[in-house]
Amino acid sequence: MKTRLYLLITLLLSLSLLLMACNGAADPVVEEPPAVEVEEPAVPEPEVEEPVEEVVEPEPEPEPAFTEEDLDAAVNAMLGRMTAYNTIRPDALNEALAEDPPFILDVRRPAELEELGHIPGAVHVPLNDLHENLDKLPSFDTPIVTYCAVGWRCTIAMTAMETLGWQNVRALVGGSFGGWANAGYEIVDGFPPEAEVLNAASPDPELLAEVQQMMANIPQGFGVITTDDLFAKLVDTPDVLLIDVRRAEELEDNGIIESDNQMQIAIEDFVAMRDMWPQDKDAEIIIYCGTGHRSTIAMTIMWMYGYTDVRSMKGGIAEWRADGYPVLGGAEPEEADLDAAFANFIDNMVAYNTIRPAALNELLIEDPPPFILDVRRPAELEELGHIEGAVHIPLPEIGDNLDLLPSFDTPIVTYCAVGWRCTIAMTALSAMGWTDVKALVGGSFGGWVNEGYPVVDGPAAEAMVLNAASPDPALAEALGDMLRNVPQGFGVITTDDLALELIDKPEMQLIDVRTVGEVEENGRIESDGQLLIPIEAFIERMDEWPADKDMEIVIYCGTGHRSTIAMTIMWSYGYTNVRSMKGGLAEWSADGYPVVEFAQ
């Protein structure tokens, strides 16, 4: 009931409201207040930051791990500790092997060892393989001697090893293995045992990479250029760059090669003055020095810096001048007056400057005895002993050891195995100025032993430096050079070999140095174009010698002594293919070979 009443009231109210609206009842008027301008507070616009472009700094390029300045330090260290340009001669090496042997490194090709043998105790690593076999080398402070055929490759090896950190490496000079062999020092046939891996030294890896790259690219020929080839090149390519690495005083004494494109940088300053080197690393460069050793060091250094066309002149300015090529400046070289030296020797010969064992034995009991000079190889003394009191200087080394000889007027007797080498030595020393030099003949040391005279076992005592004579420097140089280059075999040709060669080579030049009376009495070897020039007139009639200094010449006499004197004289004048017949005409006839009468 209540609910219905509530709904009714609600309905009535809703109808009332509806009727009021339909009758348009007006809305009450409301006056709006006058508009008041209200200033809106200024709202600052927000600052908008302009976008800033981020600048990314480029990362610095990494510095190279190894620079030329690092190489400078290594090479300068090597140059700074050089002594005698890191060289050693055969006699000094032989002494070292007997006392405290160094590590010996043979850098020749295998075929060279197979043919010629090697120095005892050597380790063999060919130069072109050295960079891959450094583990076979000893510690940095071990003394090392490198050698090759003539001294070129071992200098390259020495320079590379010293740059890598080895501190006592020397190159065998004086003809290297050839000089060692010619001096008669011991040689072992064939190859040495395979080298052991030592891993005893650790070069800086980055420096090692640089040096290995250089050694892997050593050119064929090892950078050698001869004096003849350089002279031709300077004519055809005058803009080739020459670098002279001698000291200033050497230039003053010996002059320089003439060239408009040349610089002088002493080897001692070679890297310190690197800014003088050409910028173009492909430039053609030829380096020279006094003998070829320092220029080979400099060439190797430039290869390390990446220069691709650098060579070293063989023999240096000494060989350039000896070959007759011109120089600028320098003192005029004194030429050896060989004519006067040999003429004086021949004029003053007594019995052709010979002495026999019995006469020598008598002299040895006198006071003072003569100076005895043994010119054999060391191995011969070791095996057979020597004459008591003898001084030992192998024949090829006499010119390098004149300070061990006595005064010019001291009697000297030279001897060897059979009398051949001592005659060569007697001839050279007599020409240099010694006035009383005799060669022991009659079998020389063999004859001495066979006649029962005393012998002392083993090598002779070390010779004393006397500095007692001063030969003319030009003569000493010329004759010393001749002795250093005496051929293997010492110029001997046997009667059998000569008989065969006369059949095969009828153009061979024979020279008979006997007197006319001997030839008339004993006949001569049959040969067309043969010369008869008695040894007494050999210099006086030298205009009759063959003009071609490379011609094959055989000289003979009665026994082989005078022909060996004549052969030695011709070698001194630059003849390259002269031999002396062993035993002379006496042996030729005894061996049954024919002789013909002499027709004047």
Confidence (pLDDT) at 174: 84
CA 589 to chain centre: 47
Confidence (pLDDT) at 359: 96
Considering the domain boundaries, does residue 215 fall inside one? Answer: no
Same domain, yes or no: 473 and 370: yes
Q: Percentage of residues in the chain with pLDDT exceeding 90? A: 76
pLDDT digits (tens, 9 = 90+) for 100-137: 899 999 999 999 999 999 999 999 999 999 999 999 99
- Which one, of 101, 93, 147, 155, lies nearest residue 125 by Cα? 147
**AA identity, residue 109:** R
What are φ and ψ of residue 285, in 5° steps?
-130, 135
Confidence (pLDDT) at 203: 94
Q: Is 393 exposed, middle or buried (0-12, 13-18, 19+ CB in 10 A)?
A: buried
Confidence (pLDDT) at 275: 95
Considering the domain boundaries, does residue 8 fall inside one? Answer: no
With beta carbons less than 8 A apart as the criterion, state whether 585 and 596 touch.
no
Mean pLDDT check: name the lowest of 158-167, 333-342, 382-391, 441-450: 333-342
What is the arithmetic mean of pLDDT over 224-251?
94
- Residue 35's pLDDT band, with cuts at 50, 70 and 90, is very low
- Which one, of 279, 318, 315, lies nearest residue 295 by Cα? 315
With beta carbons less than 8 A apart as the criterion, state whether 575 and 482 touch.
no
Q: Is the pLDDT of residue 163 over 80?
A: yes
| DSSP run (H or E) holding 96 | helix 90-99
What are the tokens at 377?
């190889």
Mean pLDDT check: name the lowest of 58-67, 277-286, 558-567: 58-67
Beta carbons within 10 angstroms of residue 583's beta carbon: 19
Same domain, yes or no: 347 and 323: no
CA distances from 94 to 252, 377, 388 (A): 36, 11, 22
Q: Is the pLDDT of residue 534 over 60?
A: yes
Residues with Cβ < 8 Å from 207, sequence gap 6 or more? 66, 70, 71, 74, 163, 164, 165
pLDDT digits (tens, 9 = 90+) for 366-412: 889 999 999 999 999 999 999 999 999 999 999 989 999 999 999 99
Per the listing, tokens 């022909």 go with 563
Confidence (pLDDT) at 55: 62
- Give the end of a domain, one of 452, 484, 516: 484
With beta carbons less than 8 A apart as the criterion, state whether 458 and 545 touch.
no
Catalytic residue among 289, 416, 422, 557, which?
557
> Domain of 274: which CATH number?
3.40.250.10
Q: Percentage of residues in the chain with pLDDT exceeding 70? A: 88
Beta carbons within 10 angstroms of residue 475's beta carbon: 21
Confidence (pLDDT) at 178: 87
Q: Is the pLDDT of residue 8 over 60?
A: no
- Residue 51's pLDDT band, with cuts at 50, 70 and 90, is low
Confidence (pLDDT) at 506: 86
Considering the domain boundaries, does residue 296 fall inside one? Answer: yes
What are the tokens at 362?
């008598």
Same domain, yes or no: 344 and 324: no
Same domain, yes or no: 377 and 255: no
Same domain, yes or no: 367 and 457: yes
Same domain, yes or no: 448 and 515: no
Name the domain count of the chain.
4
Q: Is the pLDDT of residue 5 over 60?
A: no
Supply the pTM of this predicted model: 0.62
Mean pLDDT of the chain: 89
Same domain, yes or no: 536 and 479: no
Considering the domain boundaries, does residue 24 fall inside one? Answer: no
What are the tokens at 57?
């700094």
Running DSSP on this structure, what letter comes out for residue 471? -
Per the listing, tokens 């300053």 go with 269
pLDDT digits (tens, 9 = 90+) for 373-384: 999 999 999 999
Same domain, yes or no: 351 and 454: yes
Confidence (pLDDT) at 336: 87
Same domain, yes or no: 346 and 443: yes
Same domain, yes or no: 310 and 236: yes
- Residue 52's pLDDT band, with cuts at 50, 70 and 90, is low
The Cα–Cα gap between 29 and 152 comes to 129
Considering the domain boundaries, does residue 497 fall inside one? Answer: yes
Per the listing, tokens 């001096």 go with 183
The Cα–Cα gap between 520 and 356 comes to 27
Considering the domain boundaries, does residue 555 fall inside one? Answer: yes
Same domain, yes or no: 552 and 469: no
Q: Is 289 a catalytic residue?
A: no
- Give the end of a domain, one of 280, 304, 328: 328
Same domain, yes or no: 250 and 308: yes
Considering the domain boundaries, does residue 474 fall inside one? Answer: yes
- Give the end of a domain, one of 328, 360, 393: 328
Q: Is the pLDDT of residue 254 over 50?
A: yes
What is the arithmetic mean of pLDDT over 8-36?
48
Considering the domain boundaries, does residue 190 fall inside one? Answer: yes
Look up the domain containing 309 and give its range. Answer: 222-328
